[in-house]
Amino acid sequence: MAPQILLLKEGTDTSEGKSHLISNINACQAVVDIVRTTLGPRGMDKLIQDDKGKVTVSNDGATILKLLDVVHPAAKMLADIAKSQDAEVGDGTTSVVVFAGELLKNSKEFIEEGVHPQIISKAYRKACELSLQHLNHLAIDIAGKSPEEKQTLLERCAQTCLNSKLIAGKKEMFAKMVVEAVSSLDPDMDIAMVGIKKVQGGSLSDSQLVKGVAFKKTFSYAGFEQQPKKFTNPKIVALNVELELKSEKENAEVRIESTQDYQGIVDAEWSIIYDKLEKIVATGAKVVLSKLAIGDLATQYFADRDIFCAGRVPEEDLKRLMKATGASMQSTVNKLTEDVIGTCEVFEEKQVGNERYNFFTGCPYAKTATFIIRGGSEQFMDETERSLHDAIMVVKRTLKHSKAVPGGGAVEMELSKLLREYARTIHGKSQLLISTFAKSLEIIPRTLCENAGLDATDILNKLRAKHASNLSSVGIDLTTGEICDTWKSMVWEPSLVKMNVLSAATEAACLILQVDETIKNAQSNQGSDSFGAGGLPGGRRGGGAGGRGRGRPF
């Protein structure tokens, strides 16, 4: 009898085989069932309360899966593809999870019948490749369009994205603002240059777009209200310097022999800060901003000289302001030359709701924009911020990859038809598997119908008939509950969103299908990954895992 090799630590949990693969698919299906009802304009929202009691209301797939904190290793892959979809294109996070889950669900019967997962994966990848090729032919390029047509297309793409969000009622207003904000950015379209601020109170329609930098008035000392609140073409200084009198450190010791010595120490402290303030004033700057505190002495000093100052400015806002105005962060007040001083056309402090905001507009360097969101509750404004982020990403991707496709399930139905036609031209298992991929694509229009309370079977039958007649842009009109030409109805989506959904979902499904065993390491008191094989990390030559105790027979 061959000797047993002790490889894994005692208590290590393993599961493998067909039943394990089915179990992984069922776990993924449970995740899909959670987010499925959020898809589309008639999708529902999820209310999630975390362990600290914070409540989040959202229908964004990536946000929901992030807050759910999925721990099942296979199901976690679906959460990861939603996250990657959100980072890459911003929209389609629910679609990618739903489609991946449907691919896995439809592959379950093949697994149970003994079809090897590699064969399924190969067919799915082939179907995905064909889908992407067809998608390029279906897409309409806006590169050569007039500025007005391009503007219209971008607004329609933004509206389609916002249509399924909490702020769908104001989608025209916000779509216009989003397109205006992204179009005003520099050619590199750095989204970090678009700020989103939330001011509680007022209605959603009170939200505004500022073509520049805006941030909430920082903590201020006495004398602040005496400072001017508006400048035209001011010089702007950005500092990383504390402008206040500082006491000595707690463990500092100074030995003095007379009151004159003590007075000299006090005078030195005052002369140091006055020297700093005089050098700042000498530059001619009218707006002084610091990442660190600006104390009451400096605030009053600047107020007496008609200079505006703000300390403890958030780093994110200060970075945007520096890029936009041309100012450079200085950690000393010495040599404040013209090349490190910024400027803008207008600086103004204004009231927004119950808050005071500082506005910097007409910035000559990097272009930037700031959304100021108004709303009744914190949760509503948070969801509005997430919705705007999705729309901003969609418009950015459409500008960079200037192709759009009709939405409302039209693209999925057309790709499904084309794949079924291709499947009839081949033989073997691939024919069934590619047909299965085609069937899985129909989950998107089916779910849109179900979430809107429509008869999915009836609508899909009508869609199949229209697409069989070569009407490739016919999709679902969820307003009337019938089918329509979604291209004419202005329901458009960037082709990049659909491409990413297809490729990411296919890759995730194939990855999960190719996992034939899961090994969970037992808890280790040593806190190290260890194997009993000689020479491997944490193991002793010839011993069990971690060099002690018994391992399980491998």
Q: Tell me the pLDDT tens digit for each residue of 358-379.
A: 999 988 887 888 999 998 888 8
Catalytic residue among 38, 60, 86, 447: 60
List phi, psi (to 5°) of 353. 60, -125
Active site residue 382: no
Select which of 38, 56, 63, 94 is catalytic.
Answer: 94
45 given a catalytic annotation: no
The confidence band for 540, taking pLDDT boundaries of 50, 70 and 90, is very low
Rounded percentage of the chain residues whose pLDDT exceeds 70: 89
Model pLDDT, residue 127: 94
Q: What is the rounded distance in angstroms from the CA atom of residue 8 to the CA atom of residue 2?
A: 18
Backbone angles phi, psi at 474, to 5 degrees: -85, 125
Calpha distance 170→182 (Å, rounded)? 18
SS (H, E, C) 140-193: EECCCCCHHHHHHHHHHHHHHHHCCCCCHHHHHHHHHHHHHHHHCCCCCCCHHH
In this predicted structure, the answer to whether residue 284 has a pLDDT above a threshold of 50 is yes
Q: What is the spatial distance between Cα 534 and Cα 448, in angstroms, rounded to a whole number?
A: 56
More confident: 550 or 113: 113
Distance CA 102, CA 201 (A): 42
Higher local confidence (pLDDT), 468 or 549: 468
* Among 332, 115, 130, 373, CA closest to 240: 332
C-alpha span between 476 and 409 (Å, rounded): 7
Mean pLDDT of all residues in 330-344: 88
Is there a catalytic annotation at residue 37? no
Q: Report pLDDT for 542.
A: 39
Q: Which candidate in 370, 382, 390, 486 is catalytic?
A: 390
Domain 13-142+406-514, CATH 3.30.230.10 — does that match? no
Domain boundaries, the chain: 13-142+406-514, 215-247+267-367
Please report which helix (H) or strand (E) contains residue 25, including its range. Answer: helix 18-35
In CATH, which of 3.50.50.60, 1.10.3470.10, 3.50.7.10, 3.40.50.2300 is domain 215-247+267-367?
A: 3.50.7.10
Catalytic residue among 93, 218, 384, 447: 93
Arithmetic mean of pLDDT over the chain: 83
Q: Which of 237-251, 371-385, 403-417, 503-517 has the lowest mean pLDDT?
A: 237-251
CB 175 within 8 A of CB 162: yes
Amino acid at 419: L
Q: pLDDT grade, residue 546 (50/70/90)?
A: very low
Active site residue 152: no
* 85-99, 160-174, 247-261, 314-328: the lowest-pLDDT one: 247-261
Q: How many CB atoms lie within 10 A of CB 123?
A: 26
User: Given pLDDT bands bounded at 50, 70 and 90, which one contains residue 255?
Assistant: confident
pLDDT at 552: 38
For the stretch 381-398, pLDDT in tens is: 888 988 898 889 888 888
